[in-house]
Amino acid sequence: MKKTFWIMTLAAFAAGCADNSIPRAQLPELDTTNPLLAQWETPHATPPFSKIELAHYEPAFEAAIACQRAEIDAIVNNPAKPTFGNTIAALERSGELLGRIEGVFYNLLSADTSDEMQEIALRVQPKLTELSNDISLNPELFARVKAVYEHPGCCLKKDDKKLLEDTYKSFARNGAALSDADKELYRQYTSELSALTLQFGQNALAATNAFALNITDPKQVAELPAFVKEGMAADAKARGEKGWTVTLQAPSYVPFVTYSSNRALKEKLWRAYNSRALGGQYDNTEIVRKIANTRLKIANLLGYKCYADYVLERRMAKDTPTVEAFLEELLAATKEHADREYRTVSDYAAKLGFEGELMPWDWGYYSQKYRDAEYALNDEVVKPYFQLENVKKGVFLLANKLYGLNFTPNPEIDVYHPDVTAYDVTDEKGRFMAVLYLDFFPRASKRSGAWMTEYRGTKIVDGEETRPLVSLVMNFTKPTGEKPSLLTFDEVETFLHEFGHSLHGMLAEGRYESQTGTSVYRDFVELPSQIMENWATEKEFLDLWAVHYRTGEPIPAEIVESIVAAKNFLAAYGNVRQLSFGMTDMAWHTIAEPYEGDVVAFERASMAPTQVLPAVDGTAMAPAFSHIFAGGYAAGYYGYKWAEVLEADAFSLFKEKGIFNREVSGSFRDNVLSKGGTEDPMDLYVRFRGHKPETRALIEKMGLKKEN
């Protein structure tokens, strides 16, 4: 969906911009009793969530779609010669009302959904796809864009030129240059794809929520750490069940398979998790094939051999051979180490009396046992030092030390759920930078995982700046009656990761919202997030806030050293696991012929080079792989590893100069965080670091020697 958001007054909105080159649209009258269509008299023009009802969404979408159509008509019918102002800038500024509504609806669809919202999404999505196609396939509009692209004039600024280039290429890549017959095919294919990806996501969520394992025998949970049992008891109570319940949500599933020795229960859970939407009521297998084949049709129609070729043309990596070579290079450097790690854990399990082949559902338990023995480290040792409130304090403190940001809770800002807290974010000079929403805990209405999103981005219109509304949504362990929320180390890293995305949004500067914040190439967007994870193991940082929640004792140096050692112990395995996801993603999106075969067999073949743990029949990740089949990472999952290479190389400069060095952080802010998509990402990276990134930095960070 287009990332633009509407906050001007209705009068200003209807009148258009002060720049006379922007055509004025004859907008339909809006029903301002609908809070989605009214002016928001709220702090920082934040969404009035408590006033928005389900019944408001569809009428608001209808009105906003009509508004954008009127704006497009005004551009197309402008008798004046096409210019940057009356065509490119006007197009950039169109759709603000629709973007505002999309921002609310689609963010809540992920964070606080309901059956009714999902039904609305199914009804609305085709209309949005039709609108998008009507704009991108409008021949008169494309003719104006092309005229400006070919004769841009001599007064454009750098960001203007980038916007012009991006706009023209967006039209070309969305079918504007196709014949009339092919445009109709493009409409058909994109409409089908939109519906398929939406249904995929809903099935994956439903399949995740559909399974739960209730345990009533105290003997089956007696060995579990207290925090695991408390979480299971809370889940059981919330579901109206007795005893202890495990769900397929990560904060529930992962601790149980890590600490339980009950192989039968773990196998049942593991198979359920790894067969979500594989057959049954929420089967996604046919949808997986249809999505891959429809994407191929779209790519072929636009002149590309495969969908990956189409996607990667607008990525930092540039093309398919570069990505495939990149993944192969990392695999060659780490696969042998990963296999060695598997043998090490298997041998250790055998010493403890385990017989037979170590299976995937055994891996978490015995690797944790090994970690406990080798590094005197487990979640029970670490979690007391990572009370959520202290972690939040530490993350905010880091943002202050690096970028001078301050975070003040603002109870006047309406939130969409009682678990959510809103903050005013200001810089060291008192400048308002953003609103930050924090939403920490799992619930049935929230999809799994963690993510950063925006209700509104950054832009400047007629000299008036709009600052962003940023949201971080996570699924951390809930507090219980006995304990506050205590995070695992992985959850601390997740917080820092998503907060890095939020910094990308909060520190954005620029005139055009489509270029600011996280509006960058997919394989560049993870650099600001993944670099933040490095501070999680820096004792100098942890000493500022990481204290035992009961005793106040600072986290001991030996625990931090053990965390680093333990991370490096399974670094190769974790790397190869991520490569397996990237490789199967590329396999699905480099098909040159429609695939009608078995989804499980396709995945098994694509992942074979990366297989470390034994493969298990009757399981597959593709039917629940929302990143590539319902999200924006199709032919782009490699971007996580790509960004790891970038961040390892980038953080080495902080290590050299000081982890709180304001000169380095200032350069990172100026050349990466604030620039968004205004320039080519490789140019921005080289300007910050002084050279292009190499895989060597990541291999060294994992404590491995690169294989020759």
DSSP per-residue letters across 145-210 = HHHHHHS--S---HHHHHHHHHHHHHHHHTTTTS-HHHHHHHHHHHHHHHHHHHHHHHHHHHHHHH
C-alpha R_g of the chain: 26
pLDDT at 8 over 80: no
For residue 631, give the 3-state DSSP assignment.
coil
Q: 375 and 276 in contact (C-beta within 8 Å)?
A: no
> Strand 432-439 vs strand 469-473: parallel, antiparallel, or unpaired?
parallel
Task: Specify the length of the chain in residues.
Answer: 708
For 61, the domain range is: 10-136+138-177
Which residues are identified as catalytic? 498
b/e per residue 514-537 (b: at least 16 CB within 10 A): bbbbbbbbbbbbbbbbbbbbbbbb
Lowest mean pLDDT among 19-33, 35-49, 164-178: 19-33
Q: Which residue has the tokens 């006995």?
A: 482
Q: What is the pLDDT of residues 66-118, one digit of tens each?
A: 999 999 999 999 999 999 999 999 999 999 999 999 999 999 999 999 999 99
One domain for residues 168 and 70 = yes
Q: What is the mean pLDDT of residues 395-408?
A: 98
> Strand 406-409 vs strand 464-466: parallel, antiparallel, or unpaired?
unpaired
CA distance 372 to 379: 9
Place 439 in a pLDDT band, splitting at 50, 70 and 90.
very high
Q: What is the pLDDT of residue 705?
A: 64
Place 22 in a pLDDT band, splitting at 50, 70 and 90.
low
CA distance 505 to 492: 20
DSSP for residue 479: P
Domain count, the chain: 3
Non-local (6+) Cβ contacts of 317 within 8 A are 323, 326, 523, 638, 642
Q: 307 and 291 in contact (C-beta within 8 Å)?
A: no
- Asked if residue 579 belongs to a domain, the reply is no
Q: What is the mean pLDDT of residues 552-568?
A: 91
Q: What is the mean pLDDT of residues 130-149?
A: 95
CA distance 152 to 92: 16
Non-local (6+) Cβ contacts of 298 within 8 A are 186, 189, 190, 193, 307, 310
One domain for residues 131 and 241 = no
One domain for residues 96 and 238 = no
Look up the CATH number of the domain holding residue 469. 1.10.1370.40
Q: 514 and 166 in contact (C-beta within 8 Å)?
A: yes
One domain for residues 150 and 221 = no
Closest alpha carbon to 681 in 454, 519, 534: 519
Give the Cα-Cα-Cα angle 222, 228, 233 (nearest 5 degrees).
Answer: 80
Closest alpha carbon to 253 in 371, 381, 385, 364: 364
pLDDT at 7 over 60: no
Q: 530 and 500 in contact (C-beta within 8 Å)?
A: yes
pLDDT at 125 over 50: yes
Q: What is the pLDDT of residue 707?
A: 45
Residue 315 main-chain phi, psi, to 5 deg: -135, 160
One domain for residues 235 and 111 = no
One domain for residues 262 and 143 = no
CA torsion sign for 651, 531, 687, 706 is positive
CA distance 427 to 404: 5
One domain for residues 147 and 250 = no
CA distance 132 to 315: 22
pLDDT at 9 over 90: no
- Per-residue tokens: 421: 């807290």
CA distance 70 to 27: 6
Closest alpha carbon to 3 in 513, 675, 451, 467: 513
Cα 557 off chain centre by: 32
Q: 284 and 204 in contact (C-beta within 8 Å)?
A: yes
One domain for residues 122 and 220 = no
Place 289 in a pLDDT band, splitting at 50, 70 and 90.
very high
Q: What is the pLDDT of residue 379?
A: 84
| Percentage of residues of the chain with pLDDT beyond 70 | 96
CA distance 308 to 365: 37
For residue 433, give the 3-state DSSP assignment.
strand
Give me the helix-helix angle, 639-657 and 320-351, nearest 10°: 80
Alpha-helical segments (H) within 514-620: 527-530, 539-542, 557-569, 571-589, 599-607
- Asked if residue 519 belongs to a domain, the reply is yes
Q: What is the DSSP string of 337-368?
A: HHHHHHHHHHHHHHHTT--SPPPHHHHHHHHH
- Per-residue tokens: 68: 């954008």
Non-local (6+) Cβ contacts of 150 within 8 A are none
- Asked if residue 548 belongs to a domain, the reply is yes
Lowest mean pLDDT among 368-382, 651-665, 673-687: 368-382
- Asked if residue 218 belongs to a domain, the reply is yes
- Asked if residue 539 belongs to a domain, the reply is yes
Q: What is the mean pLDDT of residues 476-499?
A: 92
CA distance 238 to 245: 10
Q: What is the pLDDT of residue 377?
A: 78
CA distance 37 to 78: 27
Q: 74 and 462 in contact (C-beta within 8 Å)?
A: no
- Per-residue tokens: 523: 């394989």
Q: Mean pLDDT across the chain, nearest whole number?
A: 93
Q: What is the DSSP string of 502-535?
A: HHHHHT---S-GGGSTT-S-TTTTTHHHHGGGGG
pLDDT at 24 over 80: no
One domain for residues 170 and 219 = no
One domain for residues 233 and 160 = no
Q: What is the DSSP string of 657-696?
A: H-TT-HHHHHHHIIIIITTTTSS-HHHHHHHHHSS---TH
CA distance 164 to 158: 10
- Asked if residue 285 belongs to a domain, the reply is no
More confident: 344 or 9: 344
Give helix then strand counts, H and E, for the chain: 28, 9
CA distance 661 to 664: 6
Lowest mean pLDDT among 8-12, 225-229, 659-663: 8-12
Alpha-helical segments (H) within 415-545: 489-506, 527-530, 539-542
Place 372 in a pLDDT band, splitting at 50, 70 and 90.
confident
Place 21 in a pLDDT band, splitting at 50, 70 and 90.
low
CA distance 317 to 227: 43
Closest alpha carbon to 345 in 320, 326, 324, 370: 370
One domain for residues 130 and 221 = no
| Beta partners for residue 106, in sequence order | none
Give me the helix-helix angle, 180-210 and 115-136, nearest 10°: 160
CA distance 154 to 683: 23
CA distance 679 to 683: 7
- Asked if residue 592 belongs to a domain, the reply is no
pLDDT at 4 over 50: no
For residue 580, give the 3-state DSSP assignment.
helix
- Asked if residue 219 belongs to a domain, the reply is yes
One domain for residues 69 and 131 = yes
Q: What is the mean pLDDT of residues 397-409?
A: 98
